[in-house]
Amino acid sequence: MAKSPTNAPPLAAKWRKLAEARCASSGERLTPARLAAYAELLACKRPISAYELVALLEKRQNRKVAPLTAYRHLDFLMRVGLVHRLESTQSYLPCDHPEHAHDCQYLLCSACGQADEVESKSLETLLRKIAKQRGFQPENSVIEITGLCSSCSND
Ligand SMILES: [Zn+2]
Ligand SMILES: [Zn+2]
């Protein structure tokens, strides 16, 4: 069991368990620093950039954090499937359902910045089929649909 991250936002037991499970199944080590970065992302209610993560960690820990360190944490979190990266805005956010591997599909609100993760098996299957028909080997698949969320479009 990983130690509690020091100077990190409280991490709900559910997310900590998921993080431990993802690390165990991928043979990765969950260090307190990695867990602290994950806790910051979970505490944010919107996608953040690597530099915003640096600022949050620095504020929380009251010391300098190198951007490279934040990028390493983010790479790790993406590798084990806990965090996704939005390509269009180069920002990061925690996965809503990290218990299993999946392609990323997002509805992004351009007014309030909300990122709604949706998971469609049929869409995933269709995209794989299209790629296969063309002899294409997909490595990473992220679908981002921008527009207005239900509360912003009602204003
Ligand atoms: Zn996800
Ligand atoms: Zn919105």
CATH at 77: 1.10.10.10
Name the CA dihedral angle for 57, 62, 65, 70, rounded to a multiple of 10 degrees: -10
Ligand found nearest the CA of 143: 1
Is 107 a residue whose pLDDT tops 90?
yes
Q: How far apart are CA 91 and CA 71, in angstroms?
A: 11
CATH at 131: 3.30.1490.190
In a domain, 28, yes or no: yes
Q: How far is the CA of 141 from the centre of ligand 1 (A)?
A: 11
Q: How far is the CA of 148 from the centre of ligand 2 (A)?
A: 5
Claim to verify: residue 88 and residue 109 sit in the same structural domain = no
Question: In the structure, what pLDDT confidence band is assigned to residue 75 with cuts at 50, 70 and 90?
Answer: very high
Is 66 a residue whose pLDDT tops 90?
yes
Q: How far is the CA of 84 from the centre of ligand 1 (A)?
A: 6
Predicted TM-score (pTM) of this structure: 0.85
Q: How far is the CA of 30 from the centre of ligand 1 (A)?
A: 19
Q: How far is the CA of 43 from the centre of ligand 2 (A)?
A: 19
Claim to verify: residue 145 and residue 89 sit in the same structural domain = no
Q: How far is the CA of 62 from the centre of ligand 1 (A)?
A: 31
Name residues whose C-beta falls within 8 Å of residue 59's C-beta, 6 or more positions apart in sequence.
Answer: none
Average model confidence (pLDDT) for the chain?
90
In the block, residue with structure tokens 């296969």: 132
Claim to verify: residue 86 and residue 134 sit in the same structural domain = no
In a domain, 19, yes or no: yes
> Quick one: average pLDDT of 1-24?
80
Claim to verify: residue 115 and residue 46 sit in the same structural domain = no
* Domain encompassing residue 144: 104-153
Question: In the structure, what pLDDT confidence band is assigned to residue 2 with cuts at 50, 70 and 90?
Answer: low
- Count of structural domains within the chain: 2
Is 3 a residue whose pLDDT tops 60?
no
In a domain, 78, yes or no: yes
Q: How far is the CA of 150 from the centre of ligand 2 (A)?
A: 7
Bigger pLDDT: 6 vs 93:
93
Bigger pLDDT: 28 vs 6:
28
Query: Percent of the chain scored above 70 by pLDDT?
Result: 95
Ligand found nearest the CA of 107: 2
